[in-house]
Amino acid sequence: MIKNRISISQAKKLFDLPLFELAKLADKTRAEFGHRKVTYIIDRNINYSNVCTSNCKFCYFSVPVGSKNSIRLSKEEIYKRVDEAVELKATQIMLQGGLDPEFRLKDIIEIFKHIKKKYPDLVLHSLSAAEIDHFSKIERISYKDVIEKLKDAGLQGLPGAGAEILVDKIRQEISPKKISSSTWLHIHRIAHYSGLMSTATMVIGFGETIDDRLQHLKKVRDLQDETGGFIAFIPWIFKSKNKTKWENKIDYLKTVALSRIFFDNIPNIGASWLTVGKDVAPVALLCGANDLGSVMLEENVVASAIGQSHRPQSTEELENLIKSAGFESAQRDAFYNIIK
């Protein structure tokens, strides 16, 4: 933990600095955390269903119940994709889906148990707070019971998906049916106290103000003070079929830098090459980020948003991106331990 904590008002003033000055401060903070290398991971994001009752306004991936475009993967297809991922040296699986009434908790438990029996060292960093809430409602059991059952089946980490902006006035505009900011935080709190690590995310570009973003950061930092369960924070930019303007990329880079300075209690800050592109992601490494994320053997949600098929990156491509920013690269596991 870095000793000099900044306040909300100080953070707002820092955000007004030119990018170069803010990046220098963030890079200094990154060094204070001891991050001499920039990491990446090999994993696969498997979406078990695109059926969702949430109907978020920004989501191009999901379809409503009964849609002719619905896609539900069979257990056999999921296992096949896991096998393929392991063959490609994946160390982590992210299994996520829409809020699909036909996918029950017992189905996920069966899938987790099968995967962990076959690949005990493969980390299941899967689902989301919204899915935990969904299973809690359809099974009529508590969040804690859902999480404990999933943990017993092999779940080891909870991704930060569904955070978007943790300000309810924004959430009401973009995803009125999704869980509230307090529920998202509460579910991650329970996950932490149950022994799971999790990540926190923030999606920018919904028309939110800097004050909204700072509220989001403050809520995450406060929960981290309480539990210590967040292993990383990953800000990324809302991606649509419209090309991202350069000024929005500058805004993203400043947000990455401010996040690194603000989070004196979260060790890792991620850069999102998938949403900002391979031209901007290396610059984010100069703005305090110490992780470039995954090669993404499979990804469907962002690909749907931009209307393009996903192409995974090779480890060599990610390593070259890292080197282009002047850093040494290293492969990590799900817990940010360097393994290669």
Binding site per annotation, positions: 52, 56, 58-59, 128, 164, 272, 294
> Using CA atoms, how far apart are residues 27 and 15, in angstroms rounded to an integer?
15
Length, in residues, of the chain? 340
> Using CA atoms, how far apart are residues 127 and 213, in angstroms rounded to an integer?
24
- The two counts, helices (H) then strands (E), for the chain are 14, 10
Count other Cβ atoms within 10 Å, centred on residue 188: 25
Annotated binding site for [4Fe-4S] cluster: 52, 56, 59
Annotated binding site for S-adenosyl-L-methionine: 58, 164
- Are the beta carbons of 187 and 220 closer than 8 angstroms? no
User: What residue type is 239 in one-letter code?
Assistant: K
3-state secondary structure 106-138: HHHHHHHHHHHHHCCCCEEECCCHHHHHHHHHH
3-state secondary structure 16-77: CCCHHHHHHHHHHHHHHCCCCEEEEECEEEEECECECCCCCCCCCCCECCCCCCCCECCHHH
Annotated binding site for (3R)-3-methyl-D-ornithine: 128, 272, 294
For 164, residues 6+ apart whose C-beta sits below 8 A from its C-beta are: 170, 171, 174, 175, 178, 202, 203, 206
* SS3 at position 330: strand
Q: Residue 145: is it exposed, middle or buried by C-beta count within 10 angstroms (0-12/13-18/19+)?
A: middle
